[in-house]
């Protein structure tokens, strides 16, 4: 089935997953709001990432435990951070403006072929005889603001365009306040802002979005091993959450695509319905020591890591206990890096909103099911992985009498302590199933006449629509079992 993006957008609005920001005022391009179900879906995505990457990360390349910790940095940082990172000087797209009356459009110079001139929709900017395009100019993507009461050059600050730099700027703080040894990772989930010239494809390219980023610090000698390991784990993570591997494409960037400091980057791409080619969900980049090196240079602070274990192991052979004295001898200059170095960084950087959009596209299903009269009826269902589904189960009394509502409410109250569950007693039970199917609730639990006799309920599976009877006291365990993360 070729999926039509309009169907996803319509369902998201109809059922409260995604709304246009400030819609009652006509919206604002590149900004989106998550509705009551969307906020749960996105929260489940971020929780799954935090759980699987930070709290219980996968075993390392040799089956060993890996060290991961989290961070939550401010959105506005000292602007020197962005000078050091290269964002002030280089985070820009080449833009051309059209001077023609009635157009006055601004276009990305490298995407003129895909753009449309307002005056002549059939032509690309520059192709219509009246087009007057300027020379390309760099347009910085960072949102600028001022800190404090005075608005002048000295108070300029930026909304962060990525979460990564907060991690680099705190590298020494984390190291000094913990017992972490290299290799270890620091993770952060948070908002990032980019004044994208051409926000498009629903939430895919927005001006405000959330990132889920890891900076994994390792010994330069082991960095390729960690790069490959993170790339493979991150691809696996998407599959574990129900993304079909046929829809995922890991794409190693060619040498001429790589950022100047990058030793290797793999884009993990997803086949979104709005594009002919897979589009980036996440980049896994080997950034070498570029970022720590830049911050060391610009801040004047020593950000090197001292491998105490290696020094303690080897020092007896050097006839001195003092690393400083040993390192000061010119003949040891080359060997210093065995003990003191700027770690290399592997950065898996994912977009929470892009993955939410991929999950919505992947989950959307249409089929036909018999209604109460046995006639086939179209249904839409969202095949969310149970870990991501906004609502885990819905509880229905078959009828609103004979003690069924009381039993159903007791079960609802028990389950809602641990899971987000819904209670619905309105309308025919078939209609209630359809309502839950459309928002992707994996289990519907019905309390019927037999429940009153033997304390069993039916559990209906969303995808197969098959029902089975289980003892009421086992329902919580059934739901819990579906939420256990898969083995790596
Ligand atoms: N620290 C590296 C970094 O920020 P990036 O490729 O620019 O790398 C990482 O961004 C991820 O953030 C992307 O793979 C994408 O998922 C998400 N992202 C970037 N720009 C975005 C935008 N305008 N709208 C939504 N998500 C975006």
Is residue 139 over pLDDT 90?
A: no
Spatial contact of 20 and 32, defined as CB atoms under 8 Å apart: yes
pLDDT digits (tens, 9 = 90+) for 20-51: 999 999 999 999 999 999 999 999 999 999 99
Q: Is 113 helix (H, G, I), strand (E, B) or coil?
A: helix
Q: Quick check: CB of 267 below 6 Å from ligand 1?
A: no
Predicted local confidence at residue 94, as pLDDT: 84
In terms of average pLDDT, the best of 13-22, 84-93, 128-137 is 13-22
pLDDT on residue 300: 98
pLDDT in tens, 165-190: 999 999 999 999 999 999 999 999 99
C-alpha 66 – ligand 1 centre gap (Å): 25
Lowest-pLDDT range of 87-101, 269-283, 378-392: 87-101
Q: What's the CA angle centered on 38, arms 35 and 44, to 5 degrees?
A: 140
Q: Are 451 and 411 in contact (CB under 8 A)?
A: no
CA angle 141, 142, 143 (to 5 degrees): 120
Which atom from ligand 1 is nearest to the alpha carbon of 207?
A: 23
From the CA of 459, how far away is ligand 1's center (Å)?
40
* Residue range 461-483: mean pLDDT, rounded: 97
**379-391: average pLDDT:** 98
DSSP per-residue letters across 313-378: HHGGGGT-S-HHHHHHSGGGGGGGGGTEEPPEEEEEEEEHHHHHHHHHHHHEEEEEEE-TTS-EEE
Residue 279 CA to ligand 1 centre (angstroms): 11
Which pLDDT score, from 0 to 100, does residue 102 have? 81
Q: Does 414 sit in the ligand 1 pocket, CB within 6 Å?
A: no
Outline where DSSP puts E strands in 84-175. 92-97, 106-108, 137-140, 144-146, 156-158
pLDDT tens per residue across span 403-453:
999 999 999 999 999 999 999 999 999 999 999 999 999 999 999 999 999
pLDDT computed for residue 70 by the predictor: 98
Q: How far is the CA of 137 from the centre of ligand 1 (A)?
A: 23
Which residue owns the Cα nearest ligand 1 atom 8? 349
pLDDT of amino acid 122: 64
Q: Under DSSP, is residue 92 helix (H, G, I), strand (E, B) or coil?
A: strand
Q: How far is CA 361 from CA 2, 104, 245, 272, 348, in A?
A: 11, 35, 14, 7, 23
Q: Cα separation of 128 and 154, whole Å?
A: 44
Mutate to test the pocket of ligand 1, among 189, 209, 347 (most ligand atoms within 8 A of CB): 209
Side by side, the strands of the sheet bearing 137-140 are 106-108, 92-97, 137-140
Instruction: Give the containing element (helix H, strand E) for 191.
Output: strand 184-193
Average pLDDT over residues 320-329: 94
**Ligand 1 center–CA 233 separation, angstroms:** 19
Instruction: Return the pLDDT at 132.
Output: 87
Rounded mean pLDDT of 378-404? 97
Rounded to 5 degrees, what angle do the CA atoms 30, 34, 36 make?
165
Residue 358 alpha carbon to ligand 1 centre in Å: 14
Our answer on whether the CB atom of 87 is closer than 6 Å to any ligand 1 atom is: no
Per-residue pLDDT tens over the stretch 230-281: 999 999 999 999 999 999 999 999 999 999 899 999 999 999 999 999 999 9
Q: Assess whether pLDDT exceeds 70 at residue 121.
A: no
d(CA 458, CA 468): 5
The confidence band for 116, taking pLDDT boundaries of 50, 70 and 90, is: confident
- Calculate mean pLDDT across residues 196-223: 96
In Å, how far are 53, 90, 285 from 58, measured between CA atoms? 7, 35, 19
Contact 16, 369 (CB under 8 A): no
Task: State the CB neighbour count (10 A cutoff) for residue 185.
Answer: 25
Stretch among 127-141, 248-262, 333-347, 470-484 having the lowest mean pLDDT: 127-141
pLDDT for position 209: 98
Give the per-residue pLDDT at 127: 83
Helices (H), 57-145: 80-85, 87-90
Is-cis flag, bond preceding 64, omega within 30? no
Give, in degrees to the nearest 5, the angle at Cα 84 between 82 and 89: 65
Q: How confident is the model at residue 147 (pLDDT cuts 50, 70, 90)?
A: very high
Measure 354 CA to ligand 1 centroid, in angstroms. 9
Question: Is the per-residue pLDDT at 1 higher than 80?
Answer: no
Q: Please give the DSSP secondary-structure letter assigned to residue 52.
A: I
- Between 465 and 123, residue with greater pLDDT: 465
Ligand 1 pocket residue status of 286, Cβ below 6 Å: no
| Number of neighbours of residue 253 by Cβ within 10 angstroms | 15
Per-residue pLDDT band at 3 (split at 50, 70, 90): confident
Tell me what the mean pLDDT of segment 298-323 comes to: 95
Q: What phi, psi does 277 have (nearest 5°)?
A: -115, 150
């Amino acid at each position: 089935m070729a999926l039509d993006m309009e169907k996803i957008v319509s369902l998201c609005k109809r059922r409260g997953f995604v709304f246009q920001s400030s819609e009652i005022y006509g919206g604002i391009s590149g900004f989106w709001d998550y509705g009551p179900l969307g906020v749960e879906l996105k929260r489940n995505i971020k929780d799954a990432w935090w759980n699987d990457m930070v709290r219980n990360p996968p075993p390392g390349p040799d089956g060993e435990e890996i060290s991961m910790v989290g961070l939550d940095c401010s959105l506005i940082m000292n602007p020197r951070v962005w000078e050091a990172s290269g964002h002030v000087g280089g985070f820009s797209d080449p833009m051309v403006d059209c001077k023609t009356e009635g157009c006055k459009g601004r276009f990305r110079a490298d995407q003129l072929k895909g753009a449309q001139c307002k005056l002549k929709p059939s032509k690309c900017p520059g192709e219509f005889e009246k087009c007057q395009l300027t020379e390309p100019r760099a347009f910085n993507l960072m949102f600028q603001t001022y800190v404090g009461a005075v608005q002048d050059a000295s108070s300029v600050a930026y909304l962060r365009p990525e979460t990564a730099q907060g991690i680099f700027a705190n590298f020494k703080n984390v190291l000094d306040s913990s017992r972490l040894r290299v290799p270890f990772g620091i993770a952060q989930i948070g908002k990032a802002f980019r004044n994208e010239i051409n926000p498009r494809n629903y939430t895919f390219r927005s001006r405000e979005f959330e990132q889920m980023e890891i900076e994994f610090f390792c010994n330069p000698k082991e960095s390729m091993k960690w790069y490959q390991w993170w790339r493979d784990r991150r691809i696996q993570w998407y599959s574990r959450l129900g993304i079909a591997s046929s829809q995922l494409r890991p794409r190693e960037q060619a040498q001429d695509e790589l950022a100047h400091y990058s030793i290797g980057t793999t884009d993990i791409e997803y086949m979104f319905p709005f594009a002919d080619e897979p589009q980036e969900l996440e980049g896994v980049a080997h950034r070498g020591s570029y970022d720590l090196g830049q911050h060391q240079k610009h801040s004047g602070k020593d950000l090197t890591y001292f491998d105490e274990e290696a020094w303690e192991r080897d020092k007896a052979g050097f006839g001195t206990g003092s690393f400083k004295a040993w390192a000061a001898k010119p003949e040891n200059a080359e060997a210093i890096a065995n003990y003191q170095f700027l770690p290399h960084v592997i950065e898996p950087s994912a977009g929470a909103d892009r993955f939410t959009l991929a999950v919505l596209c992947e989950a959307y299903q249409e089929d036909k099911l018999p209604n109460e009269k046995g006639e086939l009826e179209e249904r839409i269902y969202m095949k969310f992985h149970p870990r991501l589904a906004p609502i885990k189960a819905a509880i229905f009394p078959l009828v609103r009498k004979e003690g069924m509502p009381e039993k159903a409410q007791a079960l609802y109250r028990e389950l809602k302590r641990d899971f987000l569950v819904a209670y619905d007693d309105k309308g025919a039970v078939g209609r209630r199933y359809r309502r839950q199917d459309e928002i992707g609730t994996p289990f519907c639990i019905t309390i019927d006449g037999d429940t009153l006799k033997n304390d069993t309920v039916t559990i209906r599976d969303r995808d197969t629509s098959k029902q089975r009877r289980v003892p009421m006291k086992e329902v919580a365990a059934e739901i819990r079992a579906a939420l256990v993360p898969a083995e790596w």
